[in-house]
Amino acid sequence: MMKWVILGISIGIGFVFLKLWLLRSPKKELGKQLFELAVNSVFWGFLIWKGSLLLLEQKLIVESPMSLLYFTGGTRGFILGILGAFIYFVLKARKLKITNVMILKSIVVFAFAVISGSFLLNLFFNEDKPKVNTADTVEVGLQEGNKAPDFQLKTLNDTDVKLSDLQGKKVFLNFWATWCPPCKAEIPHMQDFYESRNKTEVEILAVNLTTSEKNPGKIRDFVTERSVTFPVLLDQEGEIGDQYRALTIPTSYLIDSNGIVRKKIVGPMDKEMMEQLIESVD
């Protein structure tokens, strides 16, 4: 998501400002040690953030070990990562006999630069957000603000599902296949999200790109093994996947209750991401 990209850029800005501030110090060797320590601290913080999924989402890890490859611990894991990086930085700095004042100043400079950079980048990237048109005459397309192209497909149970019939609900339209590793990692998170939601307000449509499957007959077994309860649709002609430009999978579209495309997500989603996305639309 964009917020993590912004965070990465902001951390880079933090390192630049910290380096410039340390260059002003008459003790060059001390400045070099502090900067290297800051880099190492952020690295350890990242590892804690990434690995926190083991602590915070044990059930999902058991169901899908590949989640460790594609997901992090989310916001809670990020907080643990910050705490871990802070503790590591302070303990190592004291071991190097760096004064408490110098430690505090370094942390303040870095944190101020990261927060300021994040604030300015958020202003810049959110400035030109497209206005969502809810009128019936809105253009049909895949861009944010367009009316989602309508389609009808059959489910694994041979039931017809038409996208336009779901108007009034917020919809995650997900394109996937059984051979896709990130799709396998994503499905337990989607199921966990689905179970926590009111089905009269939110729906997930998982469109299987059936023409890409080596053995379409195994789709049902795949879904049953993972206890999937949201609708799984079969794109047996490949037309819907092409229409929605699902060139890389998983690819998902968030469609609001008026049938308007609000977001395209390329790559796997976890439960926290889905919750944040669904709460951002009407």
What's the average model confidence in pLDDT over 158-164? Answer: 95
What's the average model confidence in pLDDT over 215-230? Answer: 93
Q: Is the pTM of this model over 0.95?
A: no
List Cβ neighbours of 1 (8 Å cut-off, separation of 6 or more).
265, 273
What the block records as the tokens of 180 is 């896709």
The secondary structure of 32-94 as a DSSP string is: HHHHHHHHHHHHHHHHHHHHTHHHH-HHHHHH-TTHHHH---HHHHHHHHHHHHHHHHHHHHH
Say which residue, 61 or 281, is predicted with more confidence: 281
Is pLDDT at 93 greater than 80 in this prediction? yes
Contact 192, 273 (CB under 8 A): no
CATH 3.40.30.10 in the chain: give the residue spans.
152-279
Is pLDDT at 56 greater than 80 in this prediction? yes
Give 233-275 pLDDT, tens digit per residue: 999 999 999 999 999 999 999 999 999 999 999 999 999 999 9
- Indicate the range of 36-50, 51-65, 255-269 predicted with least confidence: 51-65
pLDDT at 27: 79
Q: Which CATH class is domain 152-279?
A: alpha beta
pLDDT at 131: 53
